[in-house]
Amino acid sequence: MTSRALVRARAPLRVSFAGGGTDVPPFPEDEGGLVLSATIARYAHATLRPRDDRQITLESVDYGVSIDFGIDEPLPLDGRLDLVKSALSRLLDRDRGGFDLFLHSSAPPGSGLGSSSAMIVALVGLLQDHNRQTMTDYEIAHLAHVLEREDLGISGGLQDHYAATFGGFNYLELAGSHVVVNPLRIGPDTVSELEHNLLLCYTGRTRLSDHIIDDQTDRYRRGDDEAVEGLRMQKRLAQEMKDALLRNRLSDFGEMLGQAWEQKRRMSPRISTPFIDEAYQAALDKGALGGKVTGAGGGGYMLFYCPFNHRHHVAEALIKLGLSVSEISFDLTGLRTWRVDG
């Protein structure tokens, strides 16, 4: 393998089952957060091709944007691929020369699957491999979180960067900015049955999660009873759903998925929409045990647990409403980087 090898990275997207919102400050500092999530076989991809000059080219398929600049030029945060520039500002090794960077994701921005966080995890992994650095999974996830939430000031929680880095089924414990990732040993039969009975459905509408997150955070800070109780119940359901998964009680898990959605709706009136409510009720009417929006809310993807003999009826009803419906496969590996002869 030569020094001119391409470097590739991929980081998985995630579905959050319960606890979303308890990872958003100031709740983890005040009461501690719990999140139950799993990564799926959809990815943020990044490829780096070394160049013989000192130029850098950034190309994003998702945003349809390409940028060229010299390696010694400043990187202004001007709204054009700022996520990438933020990573380069901390990890660019100017002694190694220029490169072409190509980025694409399996889900559109604002989808509710943590795609932007997965992309910055993939970038951190890619650049640390290119620089021949060694970082632990916790260091990668923490740096990705700092880049997105602090350097760029994008509102959100802690869970996504850790899910994308570690992969698999995880139970996250959060105290302030301190995160403990507890990988769950879910049996292969349980994983297969989940894949058999879950439906992932795209509403066709993306959302501005920062507005929703800011609203729920403001409500929590003001002591809004509904928002506070919704967050506390999210914690409780994360624990109960973890226990159901570990004990292969999947019907209970499916019903609690719906309970998690009901509690999530209490955190902000912006989380649901009339269209989401209509789709959710249609799925229940056709036999789904429960479901929820996978991200901050307002659009993106919805996840439903359906007994398999009802799943096709649920899918048909949702397709009639205009949703795109797909099966789900889980990723159990997390962030990966590798090299290919260019």
User: pLDDT-derived band of residue 207, with 50, 70 and 90 as boundaries?
Assistant: low
Unique residue bearing structure tokens 């350097």: 151
Contact call for residues 322 and 204 (beta carbons, < 8 A): yes
**Closest of 215, 177, 198, 214 to residue 294, by C-alpha:** 198
Percent above pLDDT 70 for the chain: 98
Name the β-bridge partners of 17.
none
- pLDDT of 109 higher than 90: no
- pLDDT of 108 higher than 90: no
Say how many CA atoms lie within 13 Å of 33 toward its Cβ: 27
Q: Where are the alpha helices (DSSP H) in the chain?
A: 27-30, 82-91, 115-130, 137-145, 159-166, 188-197, 209-221, 225-246, 250-265, 274-285, 308-320
* Whole-structure pTM value: 0.94
In this predicted model, which residue has the larger pLDDT, 39 or 75? 39
- pLDDT of 206 higher than 80: no
Active-site residue list:
160
State the average pLDDT over residues 221-238.
96
State the Cα–Cα distance between residues 265 and 259, nearest whole angstrom.
Answer: 10
Unique residue bearing structure tokens 């649901």: 272
What mean pLDDT value characterizes the chain? 94
Domain boundaries, the chain: 6-185, 188-326
| Among the ranges given (5-14, 26-35, 43-52, 75-84), the one the predictor scored with the smallest mean pLDDT | 75-84
Question: What confidence score (pLDDT) does residue 147 get?
Answer: 95
State the average pLDDT over residues 112-120.
94
State the Cα–Cα distance between residues 286 and 261, nearest whole angstrom.
Answer: 18
Amino acid letter, residue 144: A
Contact call for residues 241 and 18 (beta carbons, < 8 A): yes
Contact call for residues 165 and 117 (beta carbons, < 8 A): no
User: pLDDT-derived band of residue 4, with 50, 70 and 90 as boundaries?
Assistant: confident
State the average pLDDT over residues 254-262.
97
pLDDT tens digits, 278-298: 999 999 999 999 999 998 888
pLDDT tens digits, 125-157: 999 999 999 999 999 999 999 999 999 988 889
Which pair of structure tokens corresponds to residue 125?
């992994």
Question: Is the domain defined by 6-185 classed in CATH 3.30.230.10?
Answer: yes
User: pLDDT-derived band of residue 2, with 50, 70 and 90 as boundaries?
Assistant: very low
State the Cα–Cα distance between residues 301 and 323, nearest whole angstrom.
Answer: 9
Question: What confidence score (pLDDT) does residue 1 get?
Answer: 36
Question: What confidence score (pLDDT) does residue 208 get?
Answer: 55
Contact call for residues 157 and 290 (beta carbons, < 8 A): no
CB-based contacts of 216, cutoff 8 Å, min separation 6: 21, 24, 227, 267, 268, 270, 271
Question: Is the domain defined by 188-326 classed in CATH 3.30.70.890?
Answer: yes
